[in-house]
Structure 1
């Protein structure tokens, strides 16, 4: 079977899925399959298939591009809804649909918001994501396949004091590693830190991610906040492992890798009880409401050692151990066989 994966420019969590699942599928070395990857993007992108954005946005243009990319392949796996659909058998991964819920999450071409054809086989990482794509684009054939955990997040050695100082960290700290759009709920985290910081004078809040005005606006005036900037992905696990807790204040996640990664490194996770997060944590994180006072209460409980940290870490590690990319790869192959008959 000739198998072609198609993707476009994506957020970090989705990129982790794409690279990890492709490698995991190849590592299975399934006889009779020839796996190839390609990418689709606008003329300014680094994609292997560069198409003018106006063509990708146009329904007819996207249909022609999809037909061309599917030639000479038995199966096409689209890793993004924005990738033009092939005419033949194909699979579509959909992680969630934030552009249809939040105004600051970019836009989708009009043809992407139309109901999916009934024969499209969709892969989602959670039951929450499956409910979203069913409601918003009428997906009818959905298989839930959770993510795995990158090796660098499997109980790594904590970052050294020297590495922490290089990031500007000098005290025990809480860490947040995610984007800055509205659904990430930085407002709730900022309000929480304004409440908790005076009660935890020996702690810092570390924010990982490229420089952005929203972080500076919301946290620049607060005490002991470290805007550490972008950190190499495989080093993020070490920073998480050295933290008092990983904080995940998001209100909408199709999966939410930071929650899984925090558990996998062996650090308590403070997470908001929304989206797919409770599904991933399944009672093995300190769950909270999304408002500032509720998040602050959880931070204080961790910082004051009012929780059984060892128990939370033990349960988090056990939960994270149930997620594996090789398991996900086998489930993907089952979907491919189903589609190709």
Structure 2
């Protein structure tokens, strides 16, 4: 099996989607004997790339490369499948496997800049519908893909996310340095929010304001994460006119500190030293930050967003978005070391079950199914290992059609799977809707935020 990987994500700023792509790709490269990494002209290959990986640099950049040159390059390399790990893929060529974390830019465009939401509404639907298989990160996200884009549920597989490099607490020395660097108090709350409105930082500020009104003083809040104007534009979380928060809300909440973007090492220290991790998000495709905090030994309080129960139920507190209920839940954890310790231990055991190895196995299973032209049973959810030492292995059945000979008849299998192979230059009839003018987003808008 020859797998092509769309490596455009290597040129993007690290966020949740990019971490998924990088961690998964790194493990795929060691699992596939024949793999080609396709890169735009302005993106360099990652450091330490497996020497077995063939790198093909393009002449074009950005979206033009992705939608025009990449399909041509993949066909010239005779790839059996092209893997797209960062929310969208080319609308030509193939066969493609596309990983889509969520469809929030389509269902909730108010959280994104108009240009970004318009582009995603255009390209994400076409990527999903043209893909031979689609992977997503939770059963809830799978349901949304089926509902919003009308996909056949049998074409959508699930690849749960991993938590590395946040799979262990920070050292005592790292915590000491973090406390000194940011003058951290002994007790503080932590959240990952930045400028994403759906992270719902305004609600957390309301919780602290209510806490001060009830108790006179509230614990300090540390906020990690930077704004991404290319994705969210004027609907930044700090834009009060767009439902965000302003200086008045910050003052009412008391001691609130914004640290911006921090390194992985610093974030691990902040996770480990925090008393409680708070995540009042309105919507997530998966929701990785609570798992990261839990793996570092810190209990988490989260909102009941779509996949919350699927991902953290029984290992974190899931509390409705009512300020008084959040005050009571967090206060109880702060004042009861035994309850906090018990929840932290349960959370760490649970979080350590999520590994990028299992993610890579699930994605590779879909690629293998497409490459072999399999039309057997639908993709399955990769079972979670019973403990941190076990690895979930995704087993895929062989092609059900006895006429399909693995690898030797890939082109014939593609005709059965897609109807017809793409013609020279990937020309196809275009509808008037396809030809509609769609604004091209600026550089850096490629991947929607999925800070999990």
The reply to whether TM is greater than 0.5 is yes
Q: Does 1:131 align with 2:138?
A: no
Q: Does 1:205 align with 2:213?
A: no
Q: Max radius of gyration: which structure? A: 2
Task: Give the Å deviation of 1:91.
Answer: 0.4
Task: Give the distance between the partners of 1:115 and 1:138, measured in 2 at CA.
Answer: 13
Task: Summarize the Cα distance change of 1:183–1:282 in structure 2 as closer, same or farther, 3 Å threshold.
Answer: same
Residue 124 of structure 2 corresponds to which residue in structure 1? 112
Task: Give the distance between the partners of 1:97 and 1:223, measured in 2 at CA.
Answer: 35
Residue 381 of structure 2 corresponds to which residue in structure 1? none
The gaps in structure 1 that reach 5 residues or longer are 57-61
Cα displacement string for residues 199-257 of structure 1 (whole angstroms, at most 9, x for unaligned residues) = 38473111112367716634245311121222112321221111111111101000111
Residue 2 of structure 1 corresponds to which residue in structure 2? 2
Residue 164 of structure 1 corresponds to which residue in structure 2? 179
Determine if contact 1:115/1:139 at 8 Å carries over to the other structure: no
Residue 328 of structure 1 corresponds to which residue in structure 2? 359
The gaps in structure 2 that reach 5 residues or longer are 44-56, 228-235, 239-244, 373-452
Task: Give the distance between the partners of 1:223 and 1:188, measured in 2 at CA.
Answer: 14
Task: Give the distance between the partners of 1:307 and 1:273, measured in 2 at CA.
Answer: 25
Residue 33 of structure 1 corresponds to which residue in structure 2? 34
Higher mean C-alpha deviation, range 103-112 or range 314-323: 103-112
More strand by share: 1
Task: Give the distance between the partners of 1:40 and 1:295, measured in 2 at CA.
Answer: 49
Task: Give the Å deviation of 1:65.
Answer: 4.3
Cα displacement string for residues 258-289 of structure 1 (whole angstroms, at most 9, x for unaligned residues) = 01101111110010011222211022101111
Determine if contact 2:101/2:137 at 8 Å carries over to the other structure: yes
> 1:146-225 alignment to 2 at 5 Å?
146-157=160-171, 159-197=174-212, 199=215, 201=217, 203-210=219-226, 214=238, 217=247, 218-225=249-256
Task: Summarize the Cα distance change of 1:81–1:226 in structure 2 as closer, same or farther, 3 Å threshold.
Answer: closer
Task: Summarize the Cα distance change of 1:49–1:332 in structure 2 as closer, same or farther, 3 Å threshold.
Answer: farther
**TM-score scaled by structure 2?**
0.66
Task: Give the Å deviation of 1:11.
Answer: 6.3
Task: Give the distance between the partners of 1:292 and 1:185, measured in 2 at CA.
Answer: 12
Residue 17 of structure 1 corresponds to which residue in structure 2? 20
Q: Does 1:285 align with 2:316?
A: yes
Task: Summarize the Cα distance change of 1:340–1:174 in structure 2 as closer, same or farther, 3 Å threshold.
Answer: same
Secondary structure of the residue that 2:5 maps to in structure 1?
strand
Determine if contact 2:191/2:222 at 8 Å carries over to the other structure: yes
Task: Give the distance between the partners of 1:129 and 1:81, measured in 2 at CA.
Answer: 12
Task: Give the Å deviation of 1:179.
Answer: 3.4
Determine if contact 1:4/1:36 at 8 Å carries over to the other structure: yes
Residue 59 of structure 1 corresponds to which residue in structure 2? none
Task: Give the Å deviation of 1:94.
Answer: 0.4
Residue 67 of structure 1 corresponds to which residue in structure 2? 71
Task: Give the Å deviation of 1:297.
Answer: 2.4
**TM-score scaled by structure 1?**
0.85
Secondary structure of the residue that 2:253 maps to in structure 1?
coil
Higher mean C-alpha deviation, range 17-26 or range 157-166: 157-166
Task: Give the distance between the partners of 1:180 and 1:209, measured in 2 at CA.
Answer: 7
Task: Give the Å deviation of 1:304.
Answer: 2.2
Which residue among 71, 90, 93 is the counterpart of 1:87?
A: 93
Secondary structure of the residue that 2:89 maps to in structure 1?
coil
Give RMSD over aligned pairs: 2.9
Task: Give the Å deviation of 1:85.
Answer: 3.4
Task: Give the distance between the partners of 1:26 and 1:293, measured in 2 at CA.
Answer: 49
Query: How many pairs are equivalent?
Result: 329
